[in-house]
């Protein structure tokens, strides 16, 4: 039996105005080990999902996705699992809602490659493991935030910066460099999670923002903090 993805409810209010899907990372592997709910790449997204739910103040349906397999291969990528999860969310919520995808590492890559889905309004890629050519087919009107630590030794910031430049041809993109931030987001974790939560809330609910996100809204696309 082939491993199956799982959709986990974090918070689902009675009448949500938008939805957020949180995506974990995982190493690129030749084998196809199953995803464990206790692996670090999964666990580190739990507080981020909860913070997004708090920022939504009962107006956002927040879900986490457990991928069918750990990592990324040519046969089955997390992008397929994201498409499955979005379909499941529509079924559970009764209709497709404006959605924000929030992913870390390879989850950030999946978020960016799946954000051409019609219900997806925005995406947040935290320390994304990407290539500059990872541009989805149609990103017209999408809002994208990439947050990358300057001390990331796993996912190269120059690649995500190159991708951000390519994405600006068709989407609104903000790129934030977190000084001293690492791939695991342990250092300055509050900053990574706060930006993700506020961006999701702002792009789906129109809530006000301050700090780096206010600067991005004002047209300053490249910021170091």
Q: What is the pLDDT of residues 129-181, one digit of tens each?
A: 999 999 998 899 999 999 999 999 999 999 999 999 999 999 999 999 999 99
Quick one: what percent of the chain has pLDDT higher than 70? 96
Q: What is the spatial distance between Cα 82 and Cα 67, in angstroms, rounded to a whole number?
A: 8
| Per-residue model confidence (pLDDT) at position 97 | 98
pLDDT at 10 over 70: yes
Q: What is the spatial distance between Cα 85 and Cα 160, in angstroms, rounded to a whole number?
A: 25
The mean pLDDT value for 63-79 works out to 84
* CATH code, 6-224: 3.40.50.1820
3-state secondary structure of 194: helix
| Per-residue model confidence (pLDDT) at position 220 | 92
What's the order of all strands across the beta sheet hosting 6-11?
Answer: 6-11, 60-66, 18-23, 99-104, 120-126, 143-149, 172-178, 222-224
pLDDT in tens, 106-131: 999 999 999 999 999 999 999 999 99
Q: What is the spatial distance between Cα 85 and Cα 119, in angstroms, rounded to a whole number?
A: 12
Question: Given pLDDT bands bounded at 50, 70 and 90, which one contains residue 75?
Answer: low
| Per-residue model confidence (pLDDT) at position 27 | 67
Average pLDDT of the chain is: 93
Q: What is the spatial distance between Cα 59 and Cα 14, in angstroms, rounded to a whole number?
A: 9
Q: Could you tell me which of 109, 99, 94, 112 has the C-alpha nearest to residue 28?
A: 109
pLDDT at 221 over 60: yes
Contact between residue 178 and residue 147 where contact means Cβ atoms under 8 Å apart: yes
pLDDT at 48 over 80: yes
pLDDT at 102 over 60: yes
Checking phi first, is residue 211 left (phi over 0); if not, alpha (psi -120 to 50) or beta?
left
The mean pLDDT value for 79-90 works out to 97
pLDDT at 74 over 70: no
Contact between residue 110 and residue 103 where contact means Cβ atoms under 8 Å apart: yes
pLDDT at 60 over 60: yes
Q: Could you tell me which of 107, 114, 37, 120 has the C-alpha nearest to residue 72?
A: 107
């Amino acid at each position: 039996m082939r491993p199956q993805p799982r959709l986990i409810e974090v918070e689902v209010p009675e009448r949500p105005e938008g939805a957020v899907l949180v995506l974990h990372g995982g190493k690129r592997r030749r084998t196809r080990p199953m995803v464990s709910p206790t692996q670090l790449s999964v666990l580190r997204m739990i507080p981020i999902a909860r913070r997004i739910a708090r920022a939504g103040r009962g107006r956002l349906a927040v879900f986490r996705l457990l991928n069918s397999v750990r990592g990324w291969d040519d046969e089955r990528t997390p992008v397929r699992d994201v498409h499955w999860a979005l379909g499941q969310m529509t079924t559970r919520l009764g209709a497709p809602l404006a959605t924000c995808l929030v992913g870390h590492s390879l989850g950030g890559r999946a978020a960016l490659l799946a954000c051409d889905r019609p219900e997806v309004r925005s995406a947040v890629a935290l320390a994304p493991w990407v290539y500059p050519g990872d541009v989805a087919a149609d990103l017209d009107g999408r809002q994208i935030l990439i947050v990358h630590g300057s001390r990331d030794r796993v996912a190269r910031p120059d690649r995500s910066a190159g991708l951000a430049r390519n994405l600006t041809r068709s989407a609104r993109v903000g790129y934030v460099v977190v000084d001293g931030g690492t791939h695991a987001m342990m250092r300055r974790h509050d900053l990574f999670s706060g930006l993700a939560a506020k961006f999701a809330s702002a792009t789906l609910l129109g809530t006000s923002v301050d700090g780096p996100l206010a600067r991005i809204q004002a047209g300053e696309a490249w910021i170091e903090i």
